[in-house]
Amino acid sequence: MEEKEISQAVIGRLPRYFRYLGELKDEGVERISSQELSELMKVTASQIRQDFNNFGGFGQQGYGYNVEYLYQEIGRILGLDRTHRFIIIGAGNLGQALGGYLNFERRGFIFSGMFDKNPDLVGKEVRGIRVQPMEEMEQFIRDNDVDIAVLTIPKTSAVEVAERLVHIGIRAIWNFAHVDLNVPEGIQVESVHLSDSLMKLSYNINRYLEENEQQCEKK
Ligand code: NAI
């Protein structure tokens, strides 16, 4: 299937489709209409059709989509049909929590190595992976075909470590440090800031409270 330039907004919605379709598949559902998927996911059926049309529509015939096919195709578009090896840099609270999370492997992300500058953490094991000193990072990436580096270090050191990763030819950085990383084109950076999500939640709480207050005043 030929793929045209797809907006980041559409790509951002694909993991959620993938998740729902995975659950439907596990429940033994074979076909689903855009209307049913819309009700399940609380998005409009036209949004679903528009999103899927970016990829040729996924051959909706007669009654709905073939769940298994759609799941496989979206997985393929997300690159989940191949494995990615990742290392974690920063074996503190967050690094250890991510390293300990089993489900990444289910999606083809293989936890391969962990690094920290703190000698007290070197040698400690997280899910069978030994924390190594930072001096060994480059050699490890070279020897183990590592695609992704996860940065769970403070922002003060993230830029410097990112430069080392770029230099060694890492393909992607999953950045949890609170700093924007400027990397050359061709290196993918996905930054995650959990507090952004929390601030969105705070906005919605406030908006709900304000609306309720206004309604009470009207009564
Ligand atoms: P932590 O202090 O438990 O762990 C940080 C680890 O990074 C330590 O083990 C430290 O030795 C190591 N480290 C520091 N500089 C390093 C360097 N140059 N090279 C290698 N290792 C280095 O902190 P925690 O709670 O794990 O958080 C890690 C970072 O992630 C913090 O900077 C925090 O602000 C950020 N964070 C981001 C979140 C997000 O949603 N993006 C959520 C939580 C934390």
Q: How far apart are CA 189 and CA 175, in angstroms?
A: 7
Overall average pLDDT of the 139-163 stretch: 97
* pLDDT (0 to 100) of residue 60: 66
Q: Is the pLDDT at 2 greater than 60, yes or no? A: no
* pLDDT (0 to 100) of residue 1: 47
Overall average pLDDT of the 120-135 stretch: 97
Overall average pLDDT of the 32-52 stretch: 92
**Closest Cα to residue 88, out of 134, 120, 119?**
134
Which tokens go with 3?
């793929």
* pLDDT (0 to 100) of residue 53: 87
188 CA distance to ligand 1 middle (Å): 21
Same domain, 14 and 58: yes
Is residue 208 included in any domain, yes or no? no
Is residue 147 included in any domain, yes or no? yes
Q: How far apart are CA 149 and CA 151, in angstroms?
A: 6
Residues with CB under 6 A from ligand 1: 89-95, 116-118, 121, 134, 152-155, 157, 161, 176-178, 192-194
Per residue in 183-219, pLDDT (tens digit) is: 999 999 999 999 999 999 999 999 988 888 888 887 7
Domain coverage including residue 172:
84-194
β 31-32/65-66 pair status: antiparallel
pLDDT band at 4 (very low <50, low <70, confident <90, very high): low
Per residue in 59-110, pLDDT (tens digit) is: 766 678 999 999 999 999 999 999 999 999 999 999 999 999 988 998 899 9
Site to probe by mutation for ligand 1, drawn from 114, 173, 176, 200 as the one with most ligand atoms within 8 Å of Cβ, is 176
Is residue 99 included in any domain, yes or no? yes
**Helix, strand, or coil (residue 92):** coil
Q: Is the pLDDT at 3 greater than 60, yes or no? A: no
Which tokens go with 13?
């919605």
**Closest Cα to residue 196, out of 210, 176, 182, 168?**
176
β 109-116/129-133 pair status: parallel
CATH of the domain at 152: 3.40.50.720
Overall average pLDDT of the 152-180 stretch: 97
Site to probe by mutation for ligand 1, drawn from 153, 176, 190 as the one with most ligand atoms within 8 Å of Cβ, is 153
b/e per residue 173-190 (b: at least 16 CB within 10 A) = bbbbbeeebebeeeeeee
Is residue 216 included in any domain, yes or no? no
Nearest CA to ligand 1 atom 11: 118
* pLDDT (0 to 100) of residue 62: 67
Same domain, 133 and 171: yes
Query: DSSP assignment of 199-217, as one string?
Result: HHHHHHHHHHHHHHHHHHH
- Which among 56, 77, 98 is the end of a domain? 77
Which tokens go with 166?
């770029």
Percentage of the chain lying above the pLDDT 70 cut: 96
Q: What is the mean pLDDT of the chain?
A: 92
